[in-house]
Amino acid sequence: MGPIPLLLLLSFVVSGVESEEDYTWHLRKVPQVLNKRTVTLSSPEFKAEAKPALNGTCGIECQSRLPLASVSDLENFLSYETVYENGTRTSTEVYFRDFDVQAVHAVMKDSHSRGKRQVYGMDSRFSISDKQFVTNYPFSTTVKVSTGCTGILISPKHVLTAAHCVHDGTDYIKGAKKLRVGILKLRSKRGGRKRKGSKRNKRAAEVKPSFQWTRVKRTQLPKGWFRGVTDDVAVDYDYAVLELKRPHKKKFMELGISPTVKKLPGSRIHFSGFDNDRPGQLVYRFCRVSDESSDLMYQYCDAQPGSSGSGIYIRLKEPEKKKWKRKIIGIFSGHQWVDVNGMQQDYNVAVRITPLKYAQICFWIHGNSADCQYG
């Protein structure tokens, strides 16, 4: 589906897509993810090749056969690595406070609901063609990562994206050495001068969206993504946070803890990205979530390479208010080949923001746990 008129798109985004039932954001106390020990590592080699899809990753059926993770396992998976702009690297071990691992396992058991395999059908993506609309909230929160992925603004200095956009599970990809983030802004461009004596010396200015690129100061991603920590790259941990060298002035989107599918308006999610098959266009889509685990959402949103790392968001009512508020509840990992009962099958997969992941990402943003007690 190509470019569509602004008013028609607004009818999808504001009224036609999201149910008016009483869905509300409920703040909940989150566990604390605290730094235990940080050590300096050798500089990464940046030799990995970027890949649009991950083969042989462990999906929902595969995960159901694995032993339940202990607190020690989860602390290992959520320990993280930081790469700085100058190429230096550190590894940080973490520990938890106020964390109930049994509650996590209960959520996993209650949330699982295998749905029938669906056909993707016709392309249901919408290209955002209006130049003012594409640079206004919520679409303005979508950014382009120089490695060919998408990201979303989560603070004046931070971008959330997929881990595989910067790391293949073994090493950082080549393009991550000089990582940049592009934010769409409206810019005026004038044509060449007319001949002498003309009434107008310059052609009228043309206003069009273009990227303003900013260098990344540091990159942080969980060790659960690394081969060797897990048996293979784990889609559950396919997320990373990029800290920008210079803060932006755009409105960002807040993080939220992912509710179960039953608590999503219409069971739908939304996200925008820079799909490779539509160069220069921001592409928006929405779809129903078909299945979920404690860490993943399986869905059939139409997407192409380039949209990986997009922020998955929903809109719920604010407590005791009539206003609706959008929050990011996941990261689009992309088209994945996953192990389903011993066979490889393709799905589009998103990583859910769990209470632990919320606490970790919030800590990366603020540098302390005091600002990350509720989500």
- Which residues are part of the catalytic machinery? 164, 232, 308
How do residues 245-257 score in pLDDT, each as one tens digit?
Answer: 999 988 999 999 9
- Strand, helix or coil for residue 182: strand
Tell me the pLDDT band of 230, cut-offs 50, 70 and 90: low
Residue 171 and residue 44 in contact, taking contact as beta carbons nearer than 8 Å? yes
β-bridge partners, 350: 297, 332
How do residues 114-171 score in pLDDT, each as one tens digit?
Answer: 443 333 455 677 887 777 778 889 999 999 999 999 999 999 999 999 999 999 989 9
Sole residue written with tokens 């997929």: 162
Structural domain contains residue 373: no
Rounded CA separation 325/315 (Å): 5
Structural domain contains residue 306: yes
pLDDT of residue 15: 40
pLDDT of residue 10: 46
Structural domain contains residue 374: no
Q: Does the N-terminal peptide bond of residue 138 adopt cis geometry, omega within 30 degrees of 0?
A: yes
Structural domain contains residue 115: yes
pLDDT of residue 190: 56
Mean pLDDT of the chain: 81
Domain containing residue 247: CATH number: 2.40.10.120
Rounded CA separation 344/325 (Å): 38
Tell me how many domains the chain contains. Answer: 1
Joined tokens for residue 362: 């919030």
Rounded CA separation 82/374 (Å): 25
Which carries the bigger pLDDT value, residue 260 or residue 346? 260
Q: What is the reported pTM?
A: 0.86
Structural domain contains residue 266: yes
Rounded CA separation 179/217 (Å): 9
Mean pLDDT (whole number) for 10-26? 55
Q: Which domain holds residue 298?
A: 6-187+204-366
State the amino acid at position 334 in one-letter form: G
Which carries the bigger pLDDT value, residue 133 or residue 105? 133
Structural domain contains residue 1: no
Structural domain contains residue 112: yes
Mean pLDDT (whole number) for 238-245? 97
Structural domain contains residue 194: no
